[in-house]
Structure 1
Amino acid sequence: MTPDHPLPRRGFLAATGAMLLLAGCGTSQSASPSPSASPGTGQSTGPSQAAGPWSYTDDRGKKIELPQRPTRIVTQVSAGAALWDFGVRPIGLFGPHKLADGGRDPEAGEIDVSTVQTIGNVWDEFNIEKYISLQPELLVSGMYIKDQLWYVPEKSKEQIEAVAPTIGINFAGRSGEEVIGKYSELAGLLGADLGAPAITEAKARYDRALAELKAFASAQGELKILFAGASPDLFYICHPPEFPDLKLVTEGAGVKLIVPETVDQGGYYESISWEKIDKYAADALFIDARAQSMKVEEMAKKPTWGKLPAVKAGQVYPWRAEARYSYQGYAIMLEELVANLKKVKRVL
């Protein structure tokens, strides 16, 4: 996917050998800090329930130990969107959560962005002074690259980590369902009620959507399906095993996707020139649809785009490259994916 999910945002970045993408812009309104909440009610779980020591070992092998359960939590937007669905309310966000027009970026999921402080909204933006002013007790972010917190600027890493403990959840090479499980576990430790109706209903909806995807896979036949993203200079063929959503689609549901012959350093995709985008013939294309990614309308201006069989057949669909890691988020993503996959006809 992109460096925002290792796929093209406004352009791919080189980051420890993996090119990743960028994000949105804007600032949010200030808000009163709110503690962890119960999913079904949106109410605080209460200070009394937070008493006693709290510990968690993250995917870096780093053990966080605090005198009591943290309630003042700042998150990267993907982590915040997942935790929000499980009932945890962050007080601050960084990463793309507001669009240029002030609206909520889809990556923010159901977060009420008017109730959280903006620490940063684009790649490499992190307002340390504002972060400190919030008196955070914990920072949570995902990781696409080993031991690197997504959207935490390397140049400010030590200063940021000196303010409050940090938790990293690994995405690379892990299926979406596994990542959802990690956020569910963390949310429970942060005081969320994992048995709340909103959670159990979302899980049932997710299970139904996954079952439908498996049914499609069993009837897929020889359909050739490609997931990709793009920048003005390059076209990116995704390597499914590295992306949580595509790993679930392929290994979890059995859908056959085109796999690139070689991958760039970092393993997320094979980048090819626009002149050679017909290297992998496909019946259908699923294109990174994040707000900051190159749009299909822009791709249509490239001379080679219209020559692709999938484009000629009108079989180009959105890829929700950073669906939030919750049952709600993945249920929505899978339902749309299944609906579009069922439309695909063989053209090769």
Structure 2
Amino acid sequence: MPKVRTTSLSRRGLLAAGGAVGLGAVLAACGDSDSKGSGSGSGSSSEKSGPWTFKDDRGLTAKAKSTPKNIVAFTGVAAALHDYGIEVKGVFGPTKTKDGKADVQAGDLDISKVEILGNVWGEFNVEKYAALGPELLVTAMWEKDALWYVPDESKDKILKLAPSVALWAAQTTIPKAIQRHEDLAASLGADVKAAKVTAAKDRFEKAAARLRAAAKSKPNIKVMIGSANQDLFYVSLAKTSADTLYFQELGVKFVEPKVNSAGFFEELSWENVDKYDADIIMMDNRSSALQPDALTSKPTWAQLPAVKAGQVIPRTTEPIYSYDKCAPILEDLAKAIEDAKKAG
């Protein structure tokens, strides 16, 4: 497990490896994550015939002579665009598991139909990227100006080949992040008023109301945000990630760890994993993190009140920012709180 050093690369590497449970172990500097759609309009065909521009969350404007078609994106962003009807040619980031199945971050992508340029942190095949004739590169941003899963050592070569767009995945909330992904999809020609999209948005809004009601009805239920590897258990601070910050805004009560010098999470040895009382534990669901069924050999894990009570649920640590994918996240947490008994 990589250690946290002072460079942003190592912090991002730790996030990617599954160690930083909040995926919000980012630089403290705040960006303008509240900016609304600044793309090329509503997505109508008349607006797609001329030059294309989109102002991203770095404050940079990507430009092209026409709407990009050959798009390459970080897997989770590609999955969000897919939900709006925008397909990509290539992806990078966790896409395929060791057994050949789609990674959780791939959503509904047909991974057999996209070129996988890299599947793990540090992988990005520049030659394959160039061969795709890319017209746009899109990724997430956890640290200001840092492109998620774009290796620093090859970044300059990559960015010379096509315009790029980066969208905040931290220092924001789920609704704001969804809006920005929708803005981008609309600029690329998506019909964001389509029945499928509006139905998903309605479901999301109902799920948010349900979660708010559940949190209000169970004010004493406390949730811990966890991630595990063989040596350490990580507890994150809710306000540092788009998902858990939003849950907090809806009234969910979270364990507040004594964070390390980075300011975003606390590492606990397995001997000290019982440091905090929690009634529900949300566990990092990414393939890079150990899942609960792999923790049976840890006696201290088995003794945690939430584990004994069967109140351990998956956490979608890197949400796919579409209404379709985020609504179930809210529904699942609402149900967990509705069903929870005081354990910690």
Same fold (TM over 0.5): yes
CA–CA separation in structure 1 for the residues paired with 2:193 and 2:120: 35
Cα offset for 1:268? Answer: 3.2
User: Taking structure 1 as reference, are residues 319 and 204 closer, same or farther at Cα in structure 2, changes over 3 Å only?
Assistant: same
Amino acid aligned to 1:258: V
Amino acid aligned to 2:158: I
Deviations 1:299-347 (A, max 9, x none): 2212321221212222211112122100001012112222222221002
Q: Does 1:284 align with 2:286?
A: no
Amino acid aligned to 1:93: V
Aligned residues: 316
CA–CA separation in structure 1 for the residues paired with 2:131 and 2:199: 37
Deviations 1:36-64 (A, max 9, x none): xxxxxxxxx99986431111121112121
CA contact (8 A) 2:215 2:334 kept: no
Unaligned stretches of 5+ residues in structure 1: 1-9, 24-44
Cα offset for 1:262? Answer: 2.4
TM-score of the pair, normalised by structure 2 = 0.87
Unaligned stretches of 5+ residues in structure 2: 19-42
- What does residue 70 of structure 1 align with? 68
- What does residue 17 of structure 2 align with? 22
Deviations 1:76-121 (A, max 9, x none): 0111111111111111011111112221112111111122111111
Q: Secondary structure at the match of 2:273?
A: helix
Q: Does 1:79 align with 2:74?
A: no
CA–CA separation in structure 1 for the residues paired with 2:65 and 2:142: 30
Amino acid aligned to 1:22: A
Cα offset for 1:22? Answer: 3.2
CA–CA separation in structure 1 for the residues paired with 2:190 and 2:16: 31
Q: 2:108 aligns with which of 107, 110, 129?
A: 110
CA contact (8 A) 1:13 1:21 kept: no
CA–CA separation in structure 1 for the residues paired with 2:3 and 2:219: 34
User: Taking structure 1 as reference, are residues 13 and 125 closer, same or farther at Cα in structure 2, changes over 3 Å only?
Assistant: farther
CA contact (8 A) 2:124 2:150 kept: yes
CA–CA separation in structure 1 for the residues paired with 2:120 and 2:105: 12
Amino acid aligned to 1:277: V
The correspondence of residues 288-327 of structure 1 with structure 2, limited to 5 A, is 288-327=284-323
Cα offset for 1:263? Answer: 3.9
CA contact (8 A) 1:238 1:270 kept: yes
With 272-281 and 135-144 compared, the bigger mean Cα shift is at: 272-281
Identity %: 39
- What does residue 214 of structure 2 align with? 216
CA–CA separation in structure 2 for the residues paired with 1:343 and 1:331: 18
CA contact (8 A) 2:141 2:170 kept: yes
Cα offset for 1:71? Answer: 1.1
Deviations 1:266-320 (A, max 9, x none): x432112212111111112111122231121222212321221212222211112
Cα offset for 1:192? Answer: 0.4
Cα offset for 1:264? Answer: 4.2
The correspondence of residues 134-145 of structure 1 with structure 2, limited to 5 A, is 134-145=132-143
Q: 2:164 aligns with which of 142, 153, 166?
A: 166
- RMSD over aligned CA atoms reads 2.0
Structure 1 stretches of at least 4 aligned residues deviating more than 4 Å after TM superposition: 10-15, 45-49
User: Taking structure 1 as reference, are residues 49 and 59 closer, same or farther at Cα in structure 2, changes over 3 Å only?
Assistant: closer
- What does residue 39 of structure 1 align with? none
- What does residue 335 of structure 1 align with? 331
